[in-house]
A and B are shown apart, each in its own frame.
Chain A
Amino acid sequence: MAAAALREQLNALLASMFASGLVDEQFQQLQMLQDDGSTPGFVAEVVTLFCDDADRIISELAALLEQPVVDFDKVDAYVHQLKGSSASIGAQKVKFTCMQFRQLCQDKNRDGCIMALAVVRNEFYDLRNKFQTMLQLEQQIQAQQ
């Protein structure tokens, strides 16, 4: 496919990610830092690190919430971590869900936490899919040049 068509696809994808609130201006900061020219793979790197980190945290959360007695302090600590890294890369939806999740931890609401985890997981998977498409398109565009 021609580079121009690929670029159009990429731009449309990014526009929808911003419009739907999936990512916010912090993600633009990341793009800006890459566009500065010296580190072409920066966004790919940070996004990948975030996804690996989030995956790990979500697994830990699932394990903690399966326990007969839930350690809400530990759960809260992990959610805080996920909230922090999602804010740093501009993953707005995930960040907002984490904020609600933390409230449920503080209320020691086990069922609420389990539901919040399900929401975070789905939002994260959706975001990850879009990131993967974004990176693939970027690679294809690069390959054309």
Chain B
Amino acid sequence: MAVATETPFHVLAVDDSLPDRKLIERLLKTSSFQVTTVDSGSKALEFLGIHGEDSSPPVSVHEDQLEVAVNLIITDYCMPGMTGYDLLKKIKESTSLRDIPVVIMSSENIPSRINRCLEEGADEFFLKPVRLSDMSKLKPHILKSRCKEHYQQEQHQQSDSSSNECSNTTNSSSSSENSNSRKRKAEDNEEVLPQTNRSRHS
């Protein structure tokens, strides 16, 4: 799988403290990330394309609507209004955003807080003050989510091609053969990729 190395990964950093925002921005830029900083959870959601965060059915945003793709979100936990945990929940509730890895930062080492965030789907928890060495932990999460995304896209293409079999002869027959063999592989490798959506393969 070819991973584009020219375009740097884009991180959205959320922190209400100005000195902290400056610091995280510099840490990320020094580590070759493209950075956008915002000072609140609601501004983060705005940037990500979710509006009206108080409404109960989460608004699903198509990825094409995001002007700039965000590869990772790093947020402070303690913020007035919407905490980092609240933001995390909103992101995980959104069908288009839930696969973006989220890292929580906090100056307080509270195990129950850390566990709660990890259980809600946070990929990593950094204790503040954040240091340069912490930045190397970010890329693996981005790459992992990209692998997952790529696999899911492949699955989607297979189910599309098999459903179009009648309309499109030669192309679909060869691709459906391939998709069948990939299907078997996917099922064999179930334990490796537990998120296989079985219902598509009928």
Please name all residues of chain A whose beta carbon is closer than 8 Å to the beta carbon of B30 when the two chains form the complex: 33, 36, 38
In the complex, the chain A residue whose C-beta lies closest to that of B133 is A29
* Chain B CB within 10 Å, residue with most, of A26, A50, A80, A84: A84
In the complex, the chain A residue whose C-beta lies closest to that of B76 is A84
The answer to whether the Cβ of A93 comes within 8 Å of any Cβ in the partner chain is no
Contact with A along B131-150 (1 / 0, CB 8 A): 11000000000000000000
User: Looking at chain A's contact residues, is the secondary structure mostly helix, strand, loop, or mixed?
Assistant: helix
Contact of A46 among B22, B78, B128, B131 (CB under 8 A): B22
Known: A83-B107, A84-B128. A53 touches B22 (CB 8 A): no
Complex Cα distance, B19 from A42, in Å, reads: 11
Complex Cα distance, B78 from A77, in Å, reads: 10
Within 8 A of A (CB), among B1-44: 17-20, 22-23, 26-27, 29-30
| Min CB–CB distance B144 → chain A (angstroms) | 27
Q: Give the size category of A's interface with B.
A: 20 to 34
Tell me if B78 and A80 are in contact (CB < 8 A). Answer: yes
The answer to whether the Cβ of B57 comes within 8 Å of any Cβ in the partner chain is no
Complex Cα distance, B24 from A29, in Å, reads: 12
| Min CB–CB distance B77 → chain A (angstroms) | 10
The answer to whether the Cβ of A97 comes within 8 Å of any Cβ in the partner chain is no
Tell me if A84 and B17 are in contact (CB < 8 A). Answer: yes
Complex Cα distance, B131 from A81, in Å, reads: 19
Complex Cα distance, B129 from A87, in Å, reads: 6
Tell me if B26 and A39 are in contact (CB < 8 A). Answer: yes
| Min CB–CB distance A141 → chain B (angstroms) | 22
Complex Cα distance, B18 from A87, in Å, reads: 13
Which A positions have Cβ atoms within 8 angstroms of B? 26, 29-30, 32-33, 36, 38-39, 42, 45-46, 49-50, 53, 80-81, 83-85, 87-90
